[in-house]
Amino acid sequence: MIRVKFWGTRGSITAPGRANIHFGGHTACVEVTAFDVDEPGAATHISGPRLIIDGGSGLATLQGAMMTSACGRGQGELHFLVSHYHWDHLIGFPFFSPMFVAGNQITFYGDTVERLQASIERLFSSTYAPQMESLAARLDYKTIEAEGMNVAGFQVRAAQNRHPGKAMSFRLQYGPHAVVYSTDHEVGDPDTDRALVELARGAQLWILDSMFTPAEWEKSQGWGHSSHIAATELALQAGVETAVLFHHAPAHDDEMLFQMGRDAMTLAGGSSTTVLMARDGLVVDVGRQK
């Protein structure tokens, strides 16, 4: 089975506040872990493949558990898929404690080694924060091969989104189970949408950009994001079991996001697709035996 844990689900900038307590306020960070055995204790038994997609501010919450295990002892081996280099997907890295422990090995995967390395290394300047001088982990950079490659035990394929400055979708396959991550994508270009639907076909879970309401999207064409309705329609085309709407606008409070969730579920009513609204702390298991 594959376990997906959402540590940050906002886009653009963090959104703390009393009106956002249910969905949370951290920016994009998703942990994906695979287990060979579907056992009750699996949640705490993280020895199988593990990947982290994007390093938004949600990484700050995730690192707590990591520092009490191998990463705290300098024996951690971490793998990050980076969809693109906008702040909301990177801002957790300069505050990520395992980076400052000698012996840890951290590998980043992105569209090209050049862009990836330049974007990450630029964050580690003491101009921005003094601790950057004590960066101690070994960092490595790899280009994602679109046709597929093994990353930390997952078979990973990628496709291009429609987004200013580019962004990538990822499909993570583990045995018969697959999870697809497509955020920072604007629905509307037929070729790009078709390629993403193909990437997601047969997957059990698809995480999609749903930053806007249709009215907001109307005024934000070309920004590289979609409405919750457009995202749900895309998920229905691929026929995935579960669509998770993600990359919430900072201005959308709990009330608004609950309403968007109800709209999306109504649209998917009668289909075999279930729609969930991502929230910080949400865990979804794919392929767990009932």
In the bound complex, what is the minimum distance in angstroms from residue 278's beta carbon to Zn ion? Answer: 13
Question: What pairs with residue 52 in β-bridges?
Answer: 31, 80
Specify the residue, 5 or 247, whose C-beta has the smaller distance to Zn ion: 247
Binding site for Zn ion (CB under 5 A): 11, 86, 88, 184
DSSP 40-69: GGGGG---S-EEEE--STTHHHHHHHHHTT
* CB contact at 8 A, 81 and 109: yes
CA atoms within 13 A on the CB side of 79: 17
Specify the residue, 31 or 54, whose C-beta has the smaller distance to Zn ion: 54
Specify the residue, 8 or 287, whose C-beta has the smaller distance to Zn ion: 8
Specify the residue, 48 or 94, whose C-beta has the smaller distance to Zn ion: 94
In the bound complex, what is the minimum distance in angstroms from residue 164's beta carbon to Zn ion? Answer: 7
In the bound complex, what is the minimum distance in angstroms from residue 85's beta carbon to Zn ion? Answer: 8
Of 74, 10, 70, 3, the residue nearest 39 (C-alpha): 3
Specify the residue, 171 or 225, whose C-beta has the smaller distance to Zn ion: 225
Return phi, psi of residue 86, to 5°: -80, 150
How far, CA to CA in Å, does 107 sit from each of 117, 129, 140? 11, 22, 5
**Distance of alpha carbon 123 from alpha carbon 72, whole angstroms:** 22
In the bound complex, what is the minimum distance in angstroms from residue 81's beta carbon to Zn ion? Answer: 14
In the bound complex, what is the minimum distance in angstroms from residue 46's beta carbon to Zn ion? Answer: 27
Residue nearest to Zn ion (CB): 86
